[in-house]
Amino acid sequence: MGSSQRKNRARVSDLRASSEAHQCLFNPCQRAPVTSPSRKAVIYCRISRDGDGQEVGVKRQEVDCRALAERSGIEVWRVAIDNDISASNLSKKVRPAYASMLRDVRPGLADTVIVYSNSRLTRRPAEWMELIQLADEGKPRIRTVVPGSHDLSTADGRALAITVAAWDAAEAERTSERLKRAHLGRAMEGKVWKGGNRAFGWSEDYKALHPTEAPHLKEAVEQVLGGVAITSIAKRWNAQGVLTPAGREWTYQALKVVLMNPRLCGWMTYKKEVMRDEQGKPIIGEWEPLMTEEQHEALLAAIEKRHTPKRRFGKYLLTHHLRCGKCSQPMFGVVVRGEQMYRCKGQHFSITASVLERYVKTATFVHLSECKGDLEAEPPAEWLGEGRLAEVNSKIQELMATYNAGRVSGDILLPQVEELDEERKQLTKERDEHYREQLVQKAPSLVDELPQNVDFSIGETEWLEDWDDQIQDAYDFDGWQAMLAQHCRVIFIKPYAGPHKSTTDRISIMWDDGTTHGAPADAQPMPCGPKLPKQLPEVIELLKQDPKLSGVAVAERYGVSRSYGFRLLKQARESLAMSDVS
């Protein structure tokens, strides 16, 4: 055979091979046989619920998928498993194995995906659209163990995949609706729902208090009421080996959620809202409560007071409270030659931070000790809006009775009821805050351990020297910030008076109850409370003319929000009450 014939035969062979490759690429019916060694597959296994975590279901799927790969002559590249993760639209969980499977398919590391059934792959129409787009690029070929595999290279196959996924999503939503109705029904009856992790502090039956966790939780409640930071409690629990029901370490947010849970006082919740009966009273659950309702209200007030407004001033404890005794400007923390100081914003003078903070802590302790007897003996102050709240409730009942009797159209009556209901909500919130504040003031603290019958007027007595170290270490940084935010209104620092004067002589503290510790001679009077609204005098006059004045009417008159209108009305009532007393 001549050289020219050999060249022609080689050229024909190359053309035939090129033609076959072209047909395999663009004609699915004439692709290379499945026994080609170049084919590689990712096996994807998934199951929605695995209560015991033994992975029995996904392991069974893997066995069936490997058998299919072996029969088809496909090499298994790797196995991706999402155990106990739903693939419906209702699930918010991320499926890491599904995402990794797509990462293998996109660059062509694997050209086939083997699953037990289409529903194990996904139930989300949006994800099927993504798979169809990849199929258009010639990337994945989906093979299923059970019959019903969708051919995503054809229009009918794509339409069938999307339709089945839509029906799967609808069925998942119907199942969710049935479960929600069941949950709501049990919540209205006060019955526990045994799903997910149990609540910390309760046993496996979700009803009885846990023998070791409940005491820790009770102690944490007392500490938070006493001013201890939630973060400090979480760190101590982690050091002691006290873990969450899921076996994880505690974080600030996790412990805060536990402490704010109405379950602690026995209230039933549904979707994080307290369930109430027809009379508006909280529904009591069938489990053993950890505390009383009053204690729960005080705990919420203590946590919210530390959280709102959320202000942190780094490592300087007194930044929010200090004022210059000469210009009344704020004083801020600075470092001067390696020493922490507080300096006036107007650059008038400064004071050593360690001396000032130690003095203020001791003064706060003494002040609370002096007030201890008065706080214990003084009954809770009556809330001034009680009469108005009762009047609003009575008016709502009267209007609804008229509507139910059919004597007035709903179009006329219901707007009035909505307005009154808005006022009732605001008044109820003000009343709850009023009594919560008084409960927080009576929270246990180091002051409760003081010796009895101490003469505080003596000054630096032996008992104070004995207690000084305990005073400084009574709370952590956050705890002292909370105590000062609750009891200290402002701290004035007077100018330096010479080497023969003590540093503490420059310090004057004004407490939240109006009393003072030392009086600055040269400080200008400064309003320590919030600035009074300019509309307040006029609102007071309107309230005198119409004692039934509503917060909604005030808001509409001045073009402000309803919440601001209610605050104006509250301040006006308090001003009138004070003038009546005087």
Cβ–Cβ < 8 Å for 130, 136: no
pLDDT at position 553 over 70: yes
What per-residue confidence (pLDDT) applies to 357?
A: 87
Cβ–Cβ < 8 Å for 122, 101: no
Cβ–Cβ < 8 Å for 30, 71: no
What per-residue confidence (pLDDT) applies to 372?
A: 56
Report angle CA 311, 232, 246 to the nearest 5 degrees. 110
SS3 assignment, position 442: coil
User: pLDDT digit string (tens) for 65-120?
Assistant: 999 999 988 999 899 999 888 767 666 678 889 888 888 888 888 888 999 988 88
What per-residue confidence (pLDDT) applies to 406?
A: 76
- Mean pLDDT value of segment 277-289: 80
CA separation for the pair 475, 485 (Å, rounded) = 14
Provide DSSP, 271-314: TTEE-B-TTSPBPBPSSPPSS-HHHHHHHHHHHHHHHSS----T
Cβ–Cβ < 8 Å for 145, 74: no
Helix (H) or strand (E) holding 40: strand 40-47
Lowest-confidence region among 16-30, 189-203, 369-383:
16-30
What per-residue confidence (pLDDT) applies to 469?
A: 64
Lowest-confidence region among 188-197, 370-379, 456-465:
456-465
- Has this prediction a pTM greater than 0.85? no
CA separation for the pair 149, 101 (Å, rounded) = 18
Residue 518: pLDDT band (50, 70, 90) is low
What per-residue confidence (pLDDT) applies to 345?
A: 72
- Mean pLDDT value of segment 375-400: 74
User: pLDDT digit string (tens) for 519-533?
Assistant: 544 444 333 334 456
Cβ–Cβ < 8 Å for 333, 342: yes
CA separation for the pair 349, 520 (Å, rounded) = 15
Cβ-based neighbour number of residue 359 at 10 Å? 19
Residue 63: pLDDT band (50, 70, 90) is very high
Burial 145-168 (b: 16+ CB within 10 A, else e): beeebbebeeeebbebbeebbeeb
Residue 241: pLDDT band (50, 70, 90) is very high
pLDDT at position 214 over 70: yes
Residue 466: pLDDT band (50, 70, 90) is low
CA separation for the pair 95, 88 (Å, rounded) = 11
What per-residue confidence (pLDDT) applies to 67?
A: 93
- Mean pLDDT value of segment 3-8: 54
Helix (H) or strand (E) holding 517: strand 516-517
Strands lying side by side in the sheet with 350-352: 331-336, 339-344, 350-352
- Provide, for the chain, the percentages of residues in helix, strand and coil under a 3-state DSSP scheme, each rounded to the nearest 5: 50, 10, 35
Give me 339's structure tokens. Answer: 């020493």
CA separation for the pair 209, 202 (Å, rounded) = 4
Task: Write the CA distances from 415 to 299, 301, 389, 412, 421, integer angstroms.
Answer: 36, 33, 19, 7, 10
Residue 504 sits at φ, ψ, to 5 deg, of -70, -20
SS3 assignment, position 510: strand
Residue 365: pLDDT band (50, 70, 90) is confident
What per-residue confidence (pLDDT) applies to 44?
A: 93
Residue 33: pLDDT band (50, 70, 90) is very low
Q: What is the CA radius of gyration of the chain?
A: 36
Cβ–Cβ < 8 Å for 38, 24: no
Provide, rounded to the nearest whole percent, the portion of the chain with pLDDT above 70: 71
Domains of the chain: 22-170 (3.40.50.1390), 213-307 (3.90.1750.20), 320-526 (no CATH), 530-582 (1.10.10)
Instruction: Select from 71, 80, 77 the least CA-distant residue to 39.
Output: 77
Provide DSSP, 45-95: EEES--TT---HHHHHHHHHHHHHHHHHT-EEEEEEEEES---STT-----
CA separation for the pair 161, 123 (Å, rounded) = 10
What per-residue confidence (pLDDT) applies to 121?
A: 84
Residue with tokens 């010479």: 498
